[in-house]
Structure formats: structure tokens, C-alpha cells
Structure 1
Amino acid sequence: MDLRHDQIPEIALDWHRAGRGAVLATVVETWGSAPRQPGSQLVIDGSGQIMGSVSGGCVEGAVITEAQEALADGTPRLLTFGVSDETAFTVGLACGGTIRILLEPVGAVLPEPMLADLVVARAARAPRAYLVNLETWERRLTAGPGDPLADVIAARMRADRSGMEEGGWFAAIHNPGLRLVVVGAVHIAQPLVQMARACGYDCTLIDPRETFGSAARFPGEKILDDWPDEALAALGPDARTAVVTLTHDPKLDDPAICAALASDVFYLGCLGSTRTHAKRLDRLAAAGFTPAQIARIHAPVGLNIGAKSPAEIAVSIMAQITQVLRQG
């Protein structure tokens, strides 16, 4: 397993099943300039080994000690820490704050089957919310629909924001990772994938033209040389996927657009002038797409900020993707 900090539930399950013991530490609430946001997690095993972070390093030592005690007595804990201004400065903050951290021993408190279900859902890119009541210790895993907190969960999933709700409920949001698929390995794509990665997106370039989609032009990037609709079908675009077409060539852009419109992608943006887009709309209508489907397309792509250079256009595209993701 790739032991990344975004795989804390997976690591906790592995450690528990290996007999090492595992306690999940989760930031549930913050005040002021806290180092980590609600939902941030750390896992601690019985020997004190850790993965993840709940504070950037300023309270981890105390959390480890409490976690080992929680493993010993099999009870959950709520810890509150104040981060001083002086300590905050050492972890890159201008001022201090307060954080509240939930400790849950896996097995004794957090049921192994519930954690296993969460891990399976995450692997399948299925969004889930883990709900725990900090007053009654009731727990459940939910996708939202049909749950008493469905509306709250939906809003938090859109915002990627874990946190407290009325009645003592803490909602930990587990969304699939964000993905950006760029069709057309052109000059705009070079700064765009760099910016998208900085914003937390996993990026894939699609271009069957060897001259464009080369490792020399995009070192380290994932490049698919299949036809765009075939490549998109293999990627399985979903509601956490954005698609941007940049080729200017209908033979390449149109198959990708059709595939994206047939999926649940949250954003579809297409490069081209207003005139080019008008012709595109005529082709899509002739292909049987409804006005509502066609209205999902953002074109000309990007926010209208007067962008001129490839990097500026990439900024406008990334800004529009962010706007749609967060505001709908």
C-alpha cells in the first residue's frame, strides 16, 4: 500500500488487522488559526508509530500518549488543545488557536466492519460521510440520501468540509479524489495540469497525436494516446471529475464532449471562440443532445478575466472549475 496521508482509514484498517492496534485521531472542531482543519486524521498503533497529522506537529506527542491509553482501556476520548502564538509560528501560522480531537480505537470503539465498508467505498470512488455523535457515541456510515442529515451531508460533500452539526453530530466527509481530464496536449495544458495538481486534482492528458502528447512536453504526466471517447470510457468519469477540451479539432473534441455529457462530470469546459462554440452546439443538437445537456458546457472555457497568455488562460479555467465545484 502507498502510505500517503490521504489513506489514513486504509492504514488504520491494515494496522488493526495485522494485530498492531490502531486508534484513529480526527480533528472535529477548531477555533482560531488551527494548524489542521476538521476531518484531518492521524492513525496511531500500539507501539506509537503514526501516519498522518492533526496539528502539524505541535500536539502529536500528547495525542500519541492518549491514543495508547485508549487502546488499553478501549474507550473513546475527546481532547482539547490550545496552540499558543509562539508554537503556531513554528508550524507556519501567524497566530494560535484551539483544536478538539476525537480518538477512536478500531475494533473496541469504531467497529471494524464499519471501517472496512468505508475503505471499500473509498476504493470504489463512492462518497461517504462517517457520522459520530459526540454526546451519545452513536455512529453510522451514510451516503446521504435517506439519512436524517441528508441535506447537511450534501452541502458538506459539495464543500469538502467536515465539521460539527446540531445535536452533537460530527460529520467526517470522505469524498473521492478530484480528477481533471484534459483532451488536447496543447500549450495551455502545460500550466493547467500544474495548477490543477496544486489544487489537489489527479490529472490525465488525452491526445492520440504523438507530437503533442509526448513525455518530453509533459514530463511525469499521465498521457493516454487513445481516441478521446475511448480513453474517457476507460477512466470512468464521475461527479468528482472535470473535463476540459483544448484541441480546436472537432474530430477530437466532439467525441470527448459527447462522452462527458453522457457522464456525471461536474464540469465540462471547451476551448474555442463564440463562433466556434455556436457551430459545436449545432453539431451536438444534430446528434440528439437536449438543450439541458448542452447547457452543461462552459464555453468559451474559463472565467472572463481578459486572459491572454497560456498561463493566464489556465488560471481562468482553474478558477471556473473551482467556482463550479464549490458553488454549483
Structure 2
Amino acid sequence: MSKGNFEDFLGAMSALQKKGKTFVVVTLVKQIGSSPQEVGARAIISANGLEYGTVGGGKVENRAIQEAKKMITEKTRYLFTDWNLQKDIGMTCGGVVSFFFELFEQEHPFHVAVFGAGHIAQEFVRLLLKLDCKVSCFDPRREWLDKLPTSSKLTTLCTEDMASEVTKLPERSFVTLMTMGHGTDLPVLIETMKHRDRFSYVGNVGSHQKYLRLRNDLKQAGIPEDVIEKFYCPMGEDFGGNSPVEIAFSIIAQILRTKDQIFGRSNEAST
């Protein structure tokens, strides 16, 4: 792999990591006889398929993609395998190739997107920063964003078009809506629900009455009924009062419970 290609390869890895994607790097490490690629050829494969590069195309690459997807599902860290291209892959050439597969799994910190920087968000973000997570906060009001603490874990963006930021969020983000009101929540929620499968959690602050209104608005926006079911409103566990800090605690509890269900619960305890 040339220097230029290697830099492109590293750039592709970095882009996938920023998106929060788990992927497998496949490297051709040895060949005997003829093969469709030279030693050193690399490919990056995610659950969606080939993301970058090639290890030969055709049948051998399809087999590599299948193996990589299996590793992602089973969380296999490494795999070294030899394939006879004729007997194992069904190709006409009779060479033997050796591949090394390495899993790059998305690890925590998890990412929480906070749309709104008002009273609840002020408490919520401060609690989030005590956890092993990254936080993004969006609001059109600079004065409210400036009230948030400074932290390497926190990114803020002052924008009138919060909905346009949804598709830029890392995959598996936890998306929380607590803007100035229904009129500013709804465009963000509609855009989020259009891409619901990308996110681990979607929640909107509000009452049961607001939930009914949001459901109707989502239906009017063309969101399928089965997708509409996949968001929380009222957001948060059913405990505590209506003060911003208690609401923030209840949302944190719901997010942590959801995270444990998706990623598994850590058994490590600190002293």
C-alpha cells in the first residue's frame, strides 16, 4: 500500500470511528500462487458492508465481508484464516490466500445529543459531564449556551436550524429534546424519527398531552406508526418532582437503563 493510499486508509478508519461505527479491517498477509490482489491489500468492512478498499473483489471479497459481519455480530476480536481459492471460494484459480481480520469495536464513551440549553438542559448537561460520555448541545440562544460549563466532553453549537444537525450525529447517539417549546421540538423530532434506526434512544420533555400531540404531528409528517412508537415522551423515569434537576436525574436514569440494555452493563466497580 502506497503512502497516499495508506493515508486514505487511515482517513477512512478515522471517519468511521467519528461516526461511532464498529468495523473490521481485513488485510491480505500471504499468498501462494495466483490471487486477485497483492499482499498488503486492505479493506474496511462494517455491518453495512464494504466501506473502503478491496481485498480482491468478487467471490473472495464477498466471503471476507461475510466473515467480517460475523465477527461484528459475535464480537470476535481477531481472525487469521487461509483460503484455497478453488476449494474454499469456488474460483477457477488455485492459489491460497491468508487474511488477517481485526475488529475495531465502538467503545464508550457514548454520545448524548441535547437539543435545547434551557433550565432542564443546564442541570442535565452538568450531570452528563460526570459520566463517561460525550455531549453535544444545540440551541439558537447563545446566552444560554454560554451558561454551560466548559469541558472537553462538551461541544456546543448556536444554530437556528437545529434539525439540520440530526444527520450529523454519531450513530447510536442518545437524542434528547428539551427546546423552548413544541414549535422548536417538532422539526428536530421529525428529522430524528426519519432516521430512528441510527439512534439508541430518542426522548422529548413534555406531558402526556404533549405526547399525544407529537404523535399526531409525526403521523401527519409521514412517519410510520411502528416508528412513532419508538420515542419517549414524557422523557425520563417515573420518579421525582418537576424541578429541572429532578427531571434531569430521571432522564439520566432512563438513558443509563437503555444503554445497559443495548451495550451491556459493566461489572467493573471503582473504589
Q: How do 1:273-292 and structure 2 match up within 5 A?
A: 273-292=207-226
Which of residues 218, 221, 229 is equivalent to 2:148?
218
Gaps of 5+ in 2: 28-41, 50-64, 82-100, 263-271
SS of corresponding position for 1:188: helix
Provide the identity percentage: 22
Q: 1:300 deviation in Å?
A: 0.8
After superposition, residues 144-223 of structure 1 pair within 5 angstroms as: 144=47, 146-148=65-67, 150-151=69-70, 153-154=72-73, 156=75, 171-174=103-106, 178-211=110-143, 213-215=144-146, 217-220=147-150, 222-223=155-156
Counterpart check, 1:122 vs 2:17: yes
CA contact 2:193–2:227 (8 Å) conserved in 1: yes
* 1:183 CA drift (Å): 1.5
Amino acid at match of 1:312: E
Per-residue CA deviation, residues 291-314 of structure 1 (Å, 9 max, x unaligned), is 122112111101223454423322
Contact 1:125 1:176 in 2 (8 A): no
Unaligned runs of 5+ in 1: 1-16, 18-110, 133-138, 157-161
Contact 1:281 1:294 in 2 (8 A): yes
Relative contact order (C-alpha < 8 Å, sep 6+): which is higher? 2
Q: Secondary structure at the match of 2:255?
A: helix
Tell me the equivalent position of 2:160: 227
In the superposition, the TM-score normalised over structure 2's length comes to 0.60
Give the CA deviation at 1:115.
Answer: 6.2
Matches within 5 A, 1:19-168: 118-123=13-18, 125-129=20-24, 142-144=45-47, 146-148=65-67, 150-151=69-70, 153-154=72-73, 156=75
8 Å Cα contact 2:111/2:170 also seen in 1: no
State the alpha-carbon separation in 1 of the partners of residues 182 and 8 from structure 2: 49
8 Å contact 1:207–1:224 — kept in the other structure?
Answer: yes
Q: How many Å apart are 1:191 and its aligned residue?
A: 2.6
Q: Partners of 1:124 and 1:239 in 2: how far apart?
A: 6
**What amino acid is the match of 2:208?**
T
Change (3 A) 1:150 1:319: farther
Alignment RMSD, CA only?
A: 3.7
Change in CA separation of 1:306 and 1:129 when aligned onto 2, cut-off 3 Å: farther
* TM-score w.r.t. length of structure 1: 0.51
